[in-house]
Amino acid sequence: MTTAVDTPALVPGTVILDETVGARGPWSTIVRAGDILTIVDLHGNQAVDSLFYAADDHGLRYSAAATVAAQRNLFLTTGSVLRADDGTALMTLVGDEVGNHDTVGGACSQESNTLRYGHHTKHQHACVENFLIEGAKWGLGKRDLVSNINFFMNVPVDADGTLGIVDGLSAPGKRLALRAEIDTLVLVSNCPQINNPCNGFDPTPVRMIVTRPEEQR
Amino acid sequence: MTTSSTQTDTTAAARDHARSQAGAITDSMPVLPASAWPTPPAGIDADRLTWAETVPGGRYTSKVLARGTRIRLRDIDGSACANLLLYRADAPHERLNIADTVKVPWQAYLSVGHPLLSDQGRVLATVVADTSGHHDAFCGTTSLATNTAKYGDGSAHSGAPAGRELLTLAGAKHGLTARDLPPVLTLFHGVRVKPDGALVSTGNAGAGRELELLIHLPVIVLIANTAHPLDPEPTFNTTALEILAWAAPADLESLPNNDPEYLRAALNTEDAWNAATPVNETQLGRDVK
């Protein structure tokens, strides 16, 4: 008899998909309107870099600026609506066991890592590489990569404007739930960063569960 | 029947009418050549000017600028808001990256020495002068939907054009589409972040405030001058933006930032430029000897 702790979806329903994204790995799926994506931070302190596109129009994509301007707050938590450039609601954060999620820090890239840590990091894994690899499967290219959400990542802004990635607020098993407002392509890089505290300097897997609430059936 | 200056009933008359308009001076136009601009910046010879234009509220402009250009944006009347995008002119797929622009310097609020970084770890421009301090890297530009909800219209030729509509036009003139519009930087309208993440508009700093950028690589500059998304005014009242640019290649020799992240960005930039720039004959001759 297994003793593994099951981590259920945050919003109950019929499970449509249940997958684990390996440490450092890319992942994508289309979440249909009304379905719920639960992201589980299995081991805690993992950053999940995420981008969102209307499934039938990739030109309609997540906009950090439109999202934070509409809610007049930088942080995402329950009730936050993820908006496209034109204001269209893509997904709504309907559950959050962490407190806030980052909209500012964007993705690590090989190139930006050379600025942040030194040129010795040039050939390390980076999120932009994951986004390019996974995005290509959907016909997305470099121009389609914009400022992304970092779920479970903590980026405070001090009074003088100093900002940075600090220790996360998450813990093993913490979850968040996103309801798709329209059919939404979700593109994820399970952040491979090993030079900052966004995943405790040790990338770990996360779990993706898509559920269809009973009333949707 | 009276003869008027608008007689256009023949091709010759229409031509005369059209030609008679030339030379008009308004307060919202480019001045060409730029050296004809009547009030160059202090210490700058008018002959060095490469761009002189006044952009009224609700309009946009664009230009390709050379490496070593210094560009000054001025909020003439105190209600300008420059929505700025930069693309590397010789490789437009390389463009302003707002996330890196705040993350890499560990600083969200722009001041002198702040780099505007590309997505390839290079400095497209550095803030080299700033009397405003009211800028925003978070809220981006406005959309047709948000402006329509707030002002009744947001289309490009309405009285309250949305930044996204204007930047789409500006980008189109360089072969760029809406998918090529990343998050933008807004200048002259400040936003501050409360500890709980709340975003608060701090508005403009006042009339006559200026910001200057030094351009490190050839860039396409897109600018829309339109109200900030968090502008508290219920009506659209964006005022004119003055743009002056001049050749200042020597400024690249003394940069206003010694942070390690900045120095590596500058190093990456020079590396890319040197690799792509043919060795000139003088240099070649010297090396051969």
Q: What is the pLDDT of residues B256-285, one digit of tens each?
A: 999 999 999 999 999 999 999 987 655 554
Can you give the pLDDT at residue A3? 39
Can you give the pLDDT at residue B5? 55
Q: How far apart are CA B146 and CA A137, in angstroms?
A: 32
Residues 108-127 (A) with a CB less than 8 A from some CB of B? 109-116, 118-119
Q: What is the pLDDT of residues A169-216, one digit of tens each?
A: 999 999 999 999 999 999 999 999 999 998 889 999 999 999 999 875
Are A65 and B99 a contacting pair at CB < 8 A? no
Are B183 and A163 a contacting pair at CB < 8 A? no
Q: How far apart are CA B18 and CA B5, in angstroms?
A: 10
Can you give the pLDDT at residue A200? 86
Are B261 and A111 a contacting pair at CB < 8 A? no
Assign A6 a pLDDT band (cuts: 50, 70, 90): low
Can you give the pLDDT at residue A4? 42
How many CA atoms lie less than 13 Å away from B130 in the CB half-sphere? 20
Residues A109-134 have a mean pLDDT of 97
C-alpha distance from residue A43 to each of A40, A46, A161, A203, A207 (Å): 9, 7, 31, 9, 10
Can you give the pLDDT at residue A199? 87
Residue indicated by tokens 């009211």: B134
Of A74, A105, A144, the CB nearest to B193: A74
Can you give the pLDDT at residue B131? 98
Contact by Cβ (8 Å): A110, A123 = yes
Percent of chain A beyond pLDDT 90? Answer: 91
Residues of A in contact with B120 (CB under 8 A): 111
Which region holds residue B197: left if phi is over 0, alpha if psi is between -120 and 50, else beta? left
ipTM: 0.94
**pTM of the predicted model as reported, rounded to 2 decimal places:** 0.94
Nearest CA in chain B to A142: B93
Assign A59 a pLDDT band (cuts: 50, 70, 90): very high
Residues A95-115 have a mean pLDDT of 97
Q: Is the peptide bond before B33 cis (omega within 30 degrees of 0)?
A: yes
Q: What is the pLDDT of residues B200-250, one digit of tens each?
A: 999 999 999 999 999 999 999 999 999 999 999 999 999 999 999 999 999
pLDDT, averaged per 10 consecutive residues of chain B (289 residues), comes to: 70 96 92 96 96 98 98 98 98 98 98 98 98 98 97 98 98 98 98 97 98 98 98 97 98 97 98 88 49
Q: How far apart are CA B262 and CA A95, in angstroms?
A: 39
Chain B closest-CA separation from residue A141 CA (Å)? 10
Can you give the pLDDT at residue A128? 98
Mean pLDDT in chain A?
Answer: 94
Can you give the pLDDT at residue B283? 55
Nearest CA in chain B to A72: B199
Can you give the pLDDT at residue B278? 80
Q: How far apart are CA B58 and CA B224, in angstroms?
A: 7
Can you give the pLDDT at residue B179? 97
Enter the tokens of residue A204: 């770990």
